[in-house]
Amino acid sequence: MQTESPNQSSDMRNLFYVTLLAVALSVLFWLPLWEGGGLIGGDTYSYFFPQKTFLADSIAAGEFPLWHNRTGFGYPIIAESQTGVLYPPNQLFYRLFDANGAYAANQLLHYVLAFLFTWLYARAIGLRPVPSALVALVYTYGWFPPRMCLEWAIIGGTWLPASLWAAESFLQSRHWRWLFVLTAALAMSMLAGHFNLAFITQLVLLAYIPLRLWLTADRLLESTRAVRGRCAAGLFVAVGLGFLLAAVQLAPTWELRGRSQRSTAANTGYGHLPVWYWSQAIMPWRWYRTDVDLDRILNENLPPGVALTNKIEAHLYFGLAPLLVILAAFIILRRQFFSRTILLWIALGIAALIYTPGWLLPVTKHLPGFSFFMGPGRYGIVVTLAVALLAGTALEAIVGRLKPAARWALIVLIFAATTADLWYVSRVVTNVVMLPETPLSKVDASPVAQKLKEYGRPTRLYAPGANLTNILGTASYPVYLGLGPAEYFDESLPLPAPFPLDAPPPADQLAVVEQAGITHVLAGQSLESLKWPMRLVWYGVDPFLHQAWARAPQQPLYLYELTDTRGRGYWEQAPPGATVEFSDYRANRVEMKVDSPAGGTLVLTDLAYPGWEVTIDDEPATALIVDELYRGAEVPPGRHTVTWTYHPAYLYWGAGITAATLLLWAIVGHLRFWHPRRMNFFEKQEHTQ
């Protein structure tokens, strides 16, 4: 019978305590979310919840969504990626909780995981448990709190330290399991969608692996240094397998990227971090105040051609106490506390800091991948991790020279000051508010949603506030998509013009609105003066929309039904007696029962996109593109069933690659477990004569 060694027992006990600390900090920073509240502001209700509620509704209906049929005329939801349909925690949480609960649980989970993985990485490079906890605190709550509205930020930020921990653990042990962990971590970061931080993680690894093996190998075993080339090869293969494992997500996104508004768009450097704003790290009192409009200041007097930025993208703060610890260690100990690994991180941090202003974009836009990712300020995540590691190293060096009482007094002071500092900043530098009761809880009481449901046919709402009204269960226009089909951004196509909440739609838009299959119009004022062919079906206070739009009760909303629109499905040049009836309208499938004495072109006013196939009475038919936007098919005279189904080829190819990679993974794991002597690639081979 094997017994646990003292070191193993101590490590497990430390991990348990650190997990408790990680959970406690998440409660301190995000208590309203733990209590069932929610977020409002930023992109929360204009981008994320319109996607997440659709995912939740699809799962509740027993459907795995491949196509989002509520935003505008639709888009491939997996390809757009920010919904994270294929991300395992999403599949779990959106089955267990409602959309708000799942969204909150996912963020809270990743704050805890980010803290734990950072602590584990700091431990792996030799820091003691308490200084490692300071590293985790600075990294997790220094860079992320102002980005609370950006779920992808905390998720992507979680897998950076996880990947580094796996890579470092492999270098110190050469155990194959760490290669599997690294591959899984990278695949998870890409399955989550919004690949920017996954891309930064991969860049960090591409630099970290060779630098760690050839320039900073001081803490690696001699047996590892003897096969460093093989170790590097193993790690790089693991990185490549991460891509292949995530191919089911990457392949459809690659297709959409080539068909999106970003296919020819230049990298403008939106979200850069101006050099003068680096001062926030040492003079937060100058910038982090409720009476300072940071977004306005950041975008004042920008040189011609320089992209805009904002306080979220340009945030870079570590807390003052960690900086004082670093300064004190440098003054007292000079360079004695710098290990080669920390010097590596200083170099990586400086390189990332230089990139944050966007100076290098004219050069890096020509490199693979860089032209796709904007937001150079996001590279501050690497700077934050570097400073966090430097602070942890400095704390360890200082407390090692103190007596126990003084040591723990200093530790408590540093942790308390840093936590309070970062907590305050998370409340000041943010664009969201945490509410005890989320607007999402009032969707079922929405009169607008009820009236649209009473319509009895698929609806499309023309409304202010892109995407928000998707949450009501209707398709809506206009759209807001970071990566969307190029048709939505093509000014030559007949698309309805956006309009503000308290102004009428453009009067000359009627023909375009009707052509787009709009069935209803929602506005913040009466539209009788437009004299459009429509009737008022409701006006008043909508509990959901009024709270989401921060609208006063004395400011009613007005919902109109268009009477002459061609609707979601129609016959071109329809003869008398021609009918169209929707018998099924779901994410991946649309079925229409149609009848026409003369037949003709049947149009579905949803976006024509590769992968949509049409059958007539279960027989394949030729899909047409109508008005350069919509799906159409030639239907013979008489009664027929016309069915559109979505079969995205890129998704299937990606799924095949992912499946093959999993199979390869299983084979290698089997061979390594059962035949370890044959799989000793990372052991030095002794040559005998």
Least trusted range by pLDDT, from 141-145, 203-207, 673-677: 673-677
3-state secondary structure of 561: strand
Whether the predicted pLDDT of 230 surpasses 50 = yes
What does the mean pLDDT of the chain come to? 91
Whether the predicted pLDDT of 2 surpasses 70 = no
CA angle 190, 193, 199 (to 5 degrees): 50
Helices and strands counted in the chain (H then E) = 24, 18
Give the Å distances, CA to CA, from 211 to 159, 216, 340.
Answer: 20, 6, 10
Pair 637, 598: CB distance under 8 Å: yes
pLDDT, tens only, 496-531:
999 999 999 999 999 999 999 999 999 999 999 999
Q: Which residues pair with 260 in a beta bridge?
A: 485
User: What pLDDT does residue 306 have?
Assistant: 80
Q: What does 598-660 look like in DSSP terms, one character per residue?
A: S-EEEEEEEE--TTEEEEETTEEE--EEETTTEEEEEE-SEEEEEEEEE--HHHHHHHHHHHH
Cis peptide before 478 (omega within 30 of 0): yes
User: What pLDDT does residue 688 have?
Assistant: 40
Supply the pTM of this predicted model: 0.94
* d(C-alpha 254, C-alpha 371), whole Å: 13
The pLDDT of 614-621, averaged and rounded, is: 96
Percentage of the chain modeled with pLDDT above 90: 77
Phi and psi at residue 457, in whole multiples of 5°? -135, 165
pLDDT, tens only, 256-308:
999 998 776 555 678 899 999 999 999 999 999 888 899 999 998 888 778 88
Pair 651, 248: CB distance under 8 Å: yes
User: What pLDDT does residue 662 have?
Assistant: 94
pLDDT, tens only, 556-585:
999 999 998 888 999 988 778 889 999 999
The pLDDT of 426-433, averaged and rounded, is: 91
The pLDDT of 172-192, averaged and rounded, is: 95
Nearest by Cα to 28 from 436, 420, 435, 418? 420
* b/e burial code for range 491-521 (CB count within 10 A of at least 16 → b): eeeebbebbebeebbeeebbebbbbbbbbbb
The pLDDT of 322-344, averaged and rounded, is: 86
* d(C-alpha 179, C-alpha 167), whole Å: 7
Q: Where are the alpha helices (DSSP H) in 472-583?
A: 510-515, 543-548
pLDDT, tens only, 86-100:
999 999 999 999 999
Q: Mention every residue, 6+ apart, whose C-beta is less than 8 A from residue 604.
A: 568, 569, 590, 592, 630, 631, 632, 644
The amino acid occupying position 157 is G
